[in-house]
Amino acid sequence: MVNSMTGFAAGTGALDAFVWAWDMRSVNGRGQDIRLRVPDWVSGLEAALKKKIAAETTRGTINLTLRLNREKSAGSMAINQEALDRVLASLDVIQHAADDRGLALVPPSSIDVLGFRGVAEEVADEGEDTDPIKAALLADFEAVFMQFQKMRANEGTMLVETLSGQLDQIQGLLEGAAQILADRSAAVADNLRANIAKIMENAEGVDEQRLTQELAILAVKSDITEEIDRLDAHIKAARKMLTGNGAVGRQLDFLMQEFNREANTLCSKSNFSDLTNLGLEMKTLIDQMREQVQNLE
């Protein structure tokens, strides 16, 4: 199964006086980037969560946030200085903007500032055993992570369907190219005959061997058989990747570059409007595919 790099999941739970909420989401990324915001007073929680996520994902920027509180605190509160600095800086910006507009704002109280998320954090009392809450959180995270992976798998399935349809269209264009080649061959032959006739009429002592060589070179330069064969091989390779398992996004992204290279060559060698238009249509499809491939893990 091929997964998307985009996913989302959320969940809540409780244990004794503890209540918590999970928020997990991911977006495209060149590699694997796992970012956690979890209470650091639960010993070993962050490392355990990161290990699990890293083992079961390959690519994407993954953000996991855990908000954990006690309904009746047995611990103590501490000020998160970094969060406090951010809030105060934001309030300062707001106050200056209001002053510039001649607006009077009621200054926030210290209680108001403490109410901003992250400013006041609960910390465990010294010597408190956090293993029970850690075990409960890790067990509860299983369902959240399954939901997250399911969404990535579902989106991956939709992407595979889209890409498979685009491959079908490119295959159809290749079949059309084979039909156009017969018409192009006749047109190219007529042009060559006309040009050769002009040369023969206006030149004396033409080297027939050199003329034959030049015609052979021209024929090779206009031959797109190899490009069509390689594009057909790329289609087969892409289909194989899409029906496989694991992370194939990087491989498909590279293959899209090869698709584009062959389509460019086909256009440059076509020398026939119908074939050029077909090549341009193919390039449009390849660009659309590449955008979709960027979402695959």
Q: Is 15 domain-assigned?
A: no
99 found inside a domain: yes
The confidence band for 98, taking pLDDT boundaries of 50, 70 and 90, is confident
Residue 147's pLDDT is what? 97
Strand, coil or helix: 204: coil
Residues 239 and 184 reside in one and the same domain: yes
Answer with the residue of higher pLDDT: 16 or 210: 16
In a domain, residue 66? The reply is no
Residues 221 and 268 in one domain: yes
Domain that holds residue 165: 157-293
Prediction pTM value:
0.68
Does the pLDDT value for residue 121 go beyond 60? Answer: yes
Q: In this predicted structure, what is the pLDDT of residue 227?
A: 85
CA distance 133 to 115: 25
pLDDT score of 153: 94
CA 162/CA 4 separation, integer angstroms: 13
Same domain, 180 and 236: yes
Q: State what percent of residues in the chain have pLDDT above 90.
A: 50
**pLDDT band for position 238 (50/70/90)?**
very high
Does any domain span residue 30?
no
Q: What is the mean pLDDT of the chain?
A: 84
Strands (E), the chain: 7-15, 18-27, 32-37, 60-70, 76-79, 120-123
Q: Could you tell me the pLDDT band of residue 95, with boundaries at 50, 70 and 90?
A: confident
Indicate the number of domains in the chain: 2
Higher pLDDT, 270 or 260: 260
Residues 237, 242, 244, 249: what is their CA dihedral angle, to the nearest 10 degrees?
A: 90
Per-residue pLDDT at 188: 61
Confidence (pLDDT) at 293? 93
Asked whether residue 184 falls in the same domain as residue 257, the answer is: yes
pLDDT on residue 136: 96
Q: How confident is the model at residue 13 (pLDDT cuts 50, 70, 90)?
A: very high
Kindly tell me if the per-residue pLDDT of 202 is higher than 70: no
